[in-house]
Amino acid sequence: QVQLAESGGGVVQPGRSLRLSCAASGFTFSSYAMHWVRQAPGKGLEWLAVIWYDGSNKYYGDSVKGRFTISRDNSKNMLYVQMSSLRAEDTAVYYCARDRVGVKSNGFDNWGQGTLVTVSS
Amino acid sequence: DIPMTQSPSSLSASVGDRVTITCRASQSISTYLNWYQQKAGKAPKLLIYHASDLQSGVPSRFSGSGSGTDFTLTISSLQPEDFATYYCQQSYSTPYTFGQGTKLDIK
């Protein structure tokens, strides 16, 4: 069965960097677009970034553009997001999610359990 | 960006009720509209994609309709496990924006 498992969350000081990872299994990872989505405590869902199946295209939400970088390693079935210049408002649970398709988007059909990032001094 | 607006923001209903949640896009998104269910402390779950296509394994009491700017999610007969928060999301263009959510609780 499809499994997505995020890791790398924790407490980080404002201005510092952090890299989250998402380990994928149970499907052909290299065939699907992948996303990062976050949810601040008590708030709604915020889409952050997408990377196409082959890594050829990447797109970002306005709030993280220029600070976050999405990447993937299809040989290791891994998705990443490198987060820099972190702010208090980046505090959230971060989810990786699989798209139903390899390019563009048609719904996120599998999600990880999420990893909590807390930005605080 | 394409803001998505859901209504209502919260809703109280009883088991067996028929419930409708609406979602409006600020511009036409054709049928690039998805619906998710999220229970407290859990990851979201895809219910409907492409406005009206039922995701595999989702009960048939869930249905979606609409195109252009106006969409609806209908639960034909509420079950106890359906009390949750529901989000719409457009996948027409990046950023793939979500609605603010509709919290459905027990009356």
Q: What is the mean pLDDT of residues B11-34?
A: 97
Neighbouring residues of A25: CB distance < 8 A, sequence distance ≥ 6: A2, A3, A77
Which residue of A44, A46, A95 is in closest CB contact with B43? A95
Distance from CA of B65 to the nearest CA of A (A): 15
Chain A to chain B Cβ contacts (< 8 Å):
64
pLDDT at A102: 84
Q: B102 pLDDT exceeds 90?
A: yes
CB B98 to CB A44 under 8 A?
A: yes
| Segment holding B22, helix H or strand E | strand B19-25
Give which of B33, B55, B94 to mutate to test A binding, by max A Cβ within 10 Å: B94
What is chain A's pLDDT, residue by residue, as a tens digit (121 residues)? 999 999 999 999 999 999 999 999 999 999 999 999 999 999 999 999 999 999 999 999 999 999 999 999 999 999 999 999 999 999 999 999 999 998 888 999 999 999 999 999 9
Token pair listed for B105 = 């609780």
CB A47 to CB B36 under 8 A?
A: no
pLDDT at A107: 95
pLDDT at A104: 85
pLDDT at B17: 97
Which residue of B32, B91, B98 is in closest CB contact with A45? B98
Q: What is the mean pLDDT of residues B32-47?
A: 98
Please count the residues of chain B: 107
Cβ atoms within 10 Å, residue A49: 24
pLDDT at A13: 98
Dihedral angle sign, alpha carbons of residues A103, A109, A113, A115 = positive
Cβ atoms within 10 Å, residue B98: 22
The nearest alpha carbon in chain A to B41 belongs to A113
pLDDT in tens, B81-95: 999 999 999 999 999
pLDDT at A36: 98
Chain B hits for A62, Cβ within 8 Å: 1, 95
Q: B5 pLDDT exceeds 90?
A: yes
Q: Does residue B54 belong to the interface with chain A, where contact is any CB pair within 8 Å?
A: no
Cβ distance A94 to A9 under 8 Å? yes
d(CA B85, CA B30): 24
pLDDT at B106: 87
3-state secondary structure of B7: strand
pLDDT at B74: 98
Q: Does residue A71 belong to the interface with chain B, where contact is any CB pair within 8 Å?
A: no
State the DSSP string of B59-72: -TTEEEEEETTEEE
